Amino acid sequence: MSALAWCCGVGLVTAAVLAWSGLHPGPVREVPNRPKSHRRPTALVERIALGALGALLFGVATSWPVAAIGGAVLGIFSREVLAPRRVREAPIERTEAIAGWAEQLRDTMAGAAGLQEAIVATAPLAPAPIRAAIQALALRARREALAPLLVTLADELADPTADLVCSALVLAAAGDGTDLGEVLSALAESARDEATMRRFIDASRARTRTAVRAITGITVGSVVLLFLFAHRYLAPYSSVSGQLVLAICFACYGAGIFLLVRMSRERAPERLLSFQAGRDEHGASR
């Protein structure tokens, strides 16, 4: 019992430190061409903090090691179980924003403006989901080569539509692109059709997401009520054999939730520039 209390104390301190670091990140410095794996560590910090918090709450409330492990797993994957609508729609809105920016570039360049001038002119008017990235691109385009900046922009947006648009812009910046306006129009129309399809698919998966949340809420709520009003009913689980049975139950429950979450998850399409960059790096290493 003392060992469990000591572990819970360590978990509390760890959760507090990780939560503080996640809510108060240090100053972000601009690092050109930084790898994607080092660009968004906040999500990993949040997962670790939620996992530590779940382990602490379940461990202190039940004094069961298996419950502490289950609470940690539930906290780590709570983002998938409780993902709000705005989180799911963020990639779709980003795709629509890229389509809108492509149309802005097309219309601006139709007025006898060059590509760099069009990027600078459309930066303040770019759609909100990508405005900060476009403004940073316009600022750096005044003093740096445009083609590498467009590749960096595609990596930052991390969207297949952005890869296509940036590829067309890279060709135009190198003087190899022809009929850029028609290409941007076609890409924008294709992106809007894709966004509409993805919204329809997301709506069709609403029942599965609701089932995941309902099952999770009913299970956790039932355990809490039993501990509050029928503690003797759960007393057999305090033994070693009871912990083993509880671990099997948690494993079956976790497998079911995992499959339901997997059914409701959207599979991101493969990116063009990311694949090309990985192939180039592999060839260079050889």
Q: What is the pLDDT of residue 58?
A: 82
Higher pLDDT, 30 or 151: 151
12 or 55, which is more confident: 55
What does the pLDDT read at residue 234?
Answer: 80
Given a cut of 70, whether residue 250 has pLDDT beyond it is yes
Would you place residue 278 in the very low, low, confident or very high pLDDT band (cuts 50, 70, 90)?
very low
Q: Determine contact, residues 165/135, Cβ cutoff 8 Å.
A: no
**For residue 205, with 0-12 CB atoms within 10 Å meaning exposed, 13-18 middle and 19 or more buried, which class applies?**
middle
pLDDT on residue 269:
64
User: Greater confidence, 149 or 269?
Assistant: 149
pLDDT above 90 (res 61): no
The residue-averaged pLDDT of 107-129 equals: 87
Return mean pLDDT, the chain. 76
**Cβ neighbour number for residue 261 with a 10 Å cutoff:** 17
The pLDDT confidence band at residue 112, using thresholds 50, 70 and 90, is: low
Residue 281 pLDDT class (50, 70, 90 cuts): very low
Mean pLDDT within 249-270: 75
Residue 171 pLDDT? 87
Q: How confident is the model at residue 137 (pLDDT cuts 50, 70, 90)?
A: very high
* Residues in CB range of 19: below 8 A, 6 or more apart: 49, 53
Domain locations in the chain? 2-86+206-285, 89-202
- Confidence check: pLDDT of 132 > 60: yes
Q: Which of 16-20, 113-117, 124-128, 217-221 has the lowest mean pLDDT?
A: 16-20
Cβ neighbors of 266 (< 8 A, separation 6 or more) are 88, 91, 198, 201, 202, 205
Q: For 4-40, write each residue's pLDDT tens digit.
A: 444 444 444 444 444 444 444 443 333 333 434 444 5
Taken as a whole, the chain contains a residue count of 286
**pLDDT > 90 fraction of the chain, expressed in percent and rounded:** 17
Q: How confident is the model at residue 129 (pLDDT cuts 50, 70, 90)?
A: very high
Give the model's confidence band at 189: pLDDT under 50 very low, under 70 low, under 90 confident, else very high.
very high
Q: What is the CA radius of gyration of the chain?
A: 25
Mean pLDDT, rounded, for 32-54: 64
What integer pLDDT is reported at residue 39 of this predicted model? 44
| pLDDT score of 77 more than 70 | yes
Least confident of 3-12, 36-45, 246-255: 3-12
Q: What are the residue ranges of helices labelled H in 31-179? A: 42-62, 65-76, 78-81, 85-109, 115-122, 128-141, 146-157, 160-173
pLDDT for 170-180, tens place per residue? Answer: 888 887 656 88
